[in-house]
Each structure stands twice: as structure tokens, then as C-alpha cells.
Structure 1
């Protein structure tokens, strides 16, 4: 198969290299990161175990006014509903203050969950490989090195079939406004592209977080679905509020991906109730 990307994202031993760093954060976004760090400390204080950046800002690929700020907050105890509300409010405040970003996405976990054996190849891998330390102890020190193998593929994205009914409900409840549909198109597009990439990741033997690279890698193995994933990659960066796009995801591309994923890698190991 012809080479499609210049780097496979692996170290000389074949392990996935950690992506992102503070040195790669563009200068225009550094005040945003500093404000987010201070607000996380103010809101969670002594309950905070660690916090991380992930996504385009620490990778150095963020676009002013178009990219969001992505945070992971790890608490010493299980997050409560009040904690979730506080994280949402924190994100809204930072987003309102800085026009350089288009929203703030925050994931909230407990230290115990990040380090739980059942999450080793999902949340654990995510923290160890895709997150840049921002505050506190780096939990990657307690986690293994990771290879782009079938186990990692299964445990990261082998649950698409479980999400599709929820996606249909969200689409039905969203209405028809551009404002309501556009975030769904962005979210579902990104999810499907990442699922398509990790479907073929073990065969390609590498890692990338760039949606367009992901789609091109996928295209080398599933040319009959290539244009669908390429379009989804574009919509992951430049979403439109189009209900027909969403319907195509839950009626065609999504079910096909879920079936093929289960056939190739199996289904993700069930998690305890509440670990959503």
C-alpha cells in the first residue's frame, strides 16, 4: 500500500509517542491555557489530583477562533453531579473570556478510574499518550507503554454500536437549527473518523490524531468507504448544521463501522454502570 503520511507516531521501539507539549502551544493560546489552569485550581482546590490539556492546542495545530480548548480534570474522589456542573461552568467562563477559542470541552475522572485495570487501554492510554500534563502528578508514570495493536483498538473504539441509539435520540431532540445541529455534526464526524482509523490502526502500525490523515489511512484499506470518511474528516474541522449528514451517520456509515469493528477486533469490554 502506498505511504500516506510522513510519520507513524511511534518511538524506535514501536511504542506510541506522547503527543503534544507546552512548547507546541501557539503563543496566541498561552493566555487561554494559563487562565484555564488558574480556574481549575480555584474551582477544585485540594480535591484536584491532576489536570491535562489534549487536542489541537497542545499539538500546535489549533486555529484562532475555530478550535476549542480540551481539558481533562482528575479528582482524588469520584466526580459528583456538582463537580460536573462546576467543570461546565469553568469551561463556559473561559470560553466567554477568550474569543481565540470556540468552546471548552472538559472530561472529568477520578484518579482511581484512570488507573483502573479495566481502563488501562482506554482512559489510561488516553492520558498516557494523548494528554499533556497541566497540573499535579502525571499519572502516565503509573501506566504502561502502548503499541497500536488490536487490543488497544478494541478497548478505545469497540463500542460504537452501543452509542448509535443514543445518537439517534440526540438527533431527534436537536431540532433543525444550525446552532443545534452543528455541534452534533462535529462531534459525530470526529468520533466516526477516529473509529475508522483505529479499525485499521494495527495493520497500518502507527498513530496520528489528524482527522484527515486518519481518513487517508483508512482509505488505503477500505476504498469503497473512503469518500465517506474523507467527508466526515472535513466536517470534523468545518461542521455544518445538516440533518441529512447526521442521518447518514446513524443509518449507514455508523452501523457499517460498528459491524466491521466487531468482526475485526471484537467488542469493547463492558464497564461498570455509571462509567460513561
Structure 2
């Protein structure tokens, strides 16, 4: 990959899209992970106002520290970058007092994890509406179109997706050139939705290098029977997530009314 040319292409695409949409900048949720760090840096490089928003909800300390380190560095490098911190922990706790928490614990935990992502989406769009800006998504190709590892109408609710055609490994390649802090480059990817330090690999059962391989094999028409051992296991993990999360990757089904009924 021609990394520097890819960076220039994305920055130009972001700037052109914002100009054509007649908006005056971007809003990005910064989590302390590689995807949000790369996305916010790309937005900053457009020269347009870029607001980085930190939105902790019982966040692991390591995530908070990395997010703050990145934002500080970005503000030192780019005059067009500002930041705000919206502590959503009290909002989340109040939400829990108004809904039923009955059911299997794993199911309740997952529903609450997705609620965290949706509260953050609401916050991003509040500031975007207030300032007349676009919400820039931080999903990469493996997450968005491979395993669907994101929250529908949470971190999946965005105006545009600058890195969604990049594999995770390619996002890291951009991060190196964009001078993303070492602490973020070396940290294990994590969605941070459970208030602890569990990684994406802990949840999925495979790392992103493995998932990229499985995505490529799937695109080539391979099946689980073509592999053995760990490769077969990873391929099955990929297929399970890809199948279960198709509802995130295809347009919302619309019931078309036949003309003879109108």
C-alpha cells in the first residue's frame, strides 16, 4: 500500500465531502484506540475544524490515559483541533434505573454495552448539530464489512467513514506515518464497552490478522472444509460473525407496497 498517497487521498476526500455538504468541520469520538486516533488525525489534516470528544462511561483507566495523550498531541500539532470531555457515566447509570435489568446476565451486559455506544452516538450528533459539522466514523473494513463488530446505531451511526475501506493492518500502517502515539499503536484493540480492559480478540476469539486472512479466504470462495486446525477454527469464527451480523451490513429492509394496493 502506498501509505502516504492513501493518506493524501483520504484527507482530500474528507475535505471535498465537507465542502460539498457545506459543513464547517468534523466531530470524532476519541477512545484511545488506533481507529479513532487515525480518523481524528486524518480529519485534523484537512485543516477544517475538528472536535475530538472523549466520552467515558466507567472507562478503563488505560483507555482514558491513551485518549487524553492522543488529544493533547493532536492539539499541539494542529491549530484546528479542539476537544471536549462528556462524562456519560451519570447518564448511563440513570438510564439503568429506568429500564428492566431482568434476564440472563450475559444478555443484559451486551444490551448495556450497546447502550453505551448509542449514548456516545447521541452525544456526537448533539455536538455535530450544534456546530454544523459531520460525524466521522472510525470503523475499519474488517469490523464494518467482515465481522460486523460494532453497535448498530451506535459507533455504526455516522455521516461518513474515512477508513472503512482499510484493513486493520492498513490502519496501523497509516497510524505509523501519522505519528499516532506509541501507547496506542502497541495497545490491544478494544471496544471499551464493558468498562474493563478486555480486548476485541478476547470477545471474538481471533485477532485482526487472522480475521483479515479469513475475510480474504471468504472472498475467494473458500469454505471451512478447505482448512484444518487453527485456520479452520478462525474461518468458522469469521463466518459465524459475518452471518449473524449481516443485518448491520445490508440496507434496512423496506416493505414495498404493490402498485395495485395504492
What is the TM-score with the length of structure 2 in the denominator?
0.28
What is the TM-score with the length of structure 1 in the denominator?
0.27
Larger Rg: 2
